[in-house]
Amino acid sequence: MKISSSSKIRGQIVPPPDKSISHRMLLFSSISTGKCTVHNLLRSEDTLRTMNFIKSIGAFVKDEGERIVIIPPVKLQEPSFPIDCGNSGTTSRIGMGLLARENFFSVLYGDESLSKRPMKRVVKPLSALGAKFDGRNNASNLPLSIRGGNLHSTRYVSELSSAQVKSAFIFAALSAEGESIYVENVQSRDHTEKFLSQFDLIKKDGNELKIIPGDIPAFTFEVVGDFSSAAFFLVLSIIHSNARLKINRVGLNPTRTGLLKVLKRMGGNIEIEKEEGVEPVGNIVAESSELKGTEVLPEEIPSMVDEVPLIALLGAFAEGETVVHGASELRKKESDRIEATVNILKKMGANIEGLEDGFRVRGKTPLHGAKVKSFGDHRMAMLASIAGVCSDGVEIEDAECVSISYPAFFSDLKGVME
C-alpha cells in the first residue's frame, strides 16, 4: 500500500465499533438467559473469530446488518473440533474463561503470531478456580486444551494489569461455587465489570472486584465507537500542519482514554463533548497543534496500551524529548510493538531510541518517505500510514492486516485528505 502526503486534512469520521466491547458482547450473549440483540457490532477478522467461537459451543447467531441477534444454547455444547482463534488474543484469552465454566473438553489454537503470545497469565488464575489445562510449554502457549466445570471460589491477586486476564477470570468465576475476589494494582480496561455491574454480578471496592455467581439476563446493547481506532485520526489532526477533524460517537471510557491526558499536556488542541452511559460516548474535535515533549509513566500505560506507539509519532513532531517507560507489555502484542515502532519511525527519519520498556524520541525531526514493514500488525500499519500522510508518503508491506480491527481504515483516511 502506498500512502501519499496531504497538504490539508478536513472532515468528520465515525470510527468503527469498539473491538474490545464487540468481543465481550458476543461472549456475554452466549451465556445469557435468552435472546440478545447487539447493535453496531464490529465485523473484523478478530471479532468474526469470536462469532465462530460462540457458534462452535452452540449459540445461534443471525447477522441482520444493523444488528446481530444471538440465541444462547440451553447448555453450552462441547465443541466438535478445535477452535481456531486466528490472530485474536481476546478470543483465545477471554474464551478460555468461558470454556473453563464447563465440564467438557475443548482445544484452542491460533495462527503463528498468536501461538507465540503468552497464555500462562490466563491459565494461572483459571487454574486457581479449578479449571484444568494442558498445552505447549507447560500450557504457556497455544494450542491449549481445557477442561472446566465444578469451579470453586478464590481470591486472586494479579501479577499484571490486563483486561483480558481479568475478564477471563470474571467469566469463569460467575459460575463458581461462592463469591470470588480479583485484585489488580493498576486498573485495566473495565468494559467487563461495567457491563456486569448493571446486573449486580460484580462489586468494586478499591482495587478489588467481587464476582457474585449468577446468570446474565437477556440484553440489548449498542456498541460505541472504538477509541483505539479513532486515536490514529486524532493524532493525525494534531501533528499535521493544516488539519481539523471531528470524530463522532467515539467511546470515552476513562480506562481507555489515557492518550487524551497525554495529548493535552503536550499541547494538543482538543475539544470533547461527552455523554454518560454504561459506556460513555461523545465527539472529539482536534486540530493542528504545537506540541512539547513529555514523559509517560508506567502507571499511565494500562489506560492507553494500544495507543503507546502513537506517542512515539507525537514525540517526533514535538519540541524537546518524549520518553515512555513501563510499556514492556507492548513486546507481547501481535508484534513486538516497541521494536516495530522504532523500526518504522527510524526509517522515516525520526530520532528515536528503543528502551527495554518503551522508547525515547527527540523532536522536532522532519520525517521523510520510506518503505516500511507492518510486521503483520494492524496498529503498525496504521501508525506508518499516519506518519506517511504527515511527511513525504510511505510504502507499507502487508498493509491489509488493518482488517483485523479497522477494515475501512484506508478509505476513511483517503476521505479526509485534500
Cβ contact 148:188 at 8 Å: no
Cβ contact 191:20 at 8 Å: yes
The cell numbers describing 158, all together, are 494479579
- Spatial separation of the C-alpha atoms in residues 409 and 369, rounded to whole Å: 20
Rg over alpha carbons for the chain, rounded to the nearest Å, is 21
Cβ contact 151:173 at 8 Å: yes
- CA 76 to centroid of chain Cα atoms: 26
Burial of 241 (0-12, 13-18, 19+ CB in 10 A): exposed
Question: How would you classify the pairing of strands 105-109 and 243-251?
Answer: unpaired
- CA 148 to centroid of chain Cα atoms: 26
3-class secondary-structure state, position 411: helix
Which residues contact residue 159 at a Cβ distance below 8 angstroms, ignoring those fewer than 6 apart? 121
Cβ contact 44:382 at 8 Å: no
Question: How many Cβ atoms are within 10 Å of 68's Cβ, its own excluded?
Answer: 23
DSSP state, 367? -
- Cα separation values, 194 from 60, 212, 215, 256, 280, Å: 25, 14, 16, 13, 11
Catalytic residue among 18, 46, 226, 306: 306
Which residues contact residue 274 at a Cβ distance below 8 angstroms, ignoring those fewer than 6 apart? 252, 280, 281, 282
Is residue 357 part of the annotated active site? The answer reads: no
**Does the N-terminal peptide bond of residue 364 adopt cis geometry, omega within 30 degrees of 0?**
yes
Which residues contact residue 214 at a Cβ distance below 8 angstroms, ignoring those fewer than 6 apart? 174, 199, 200, 201
Active site residues: 306
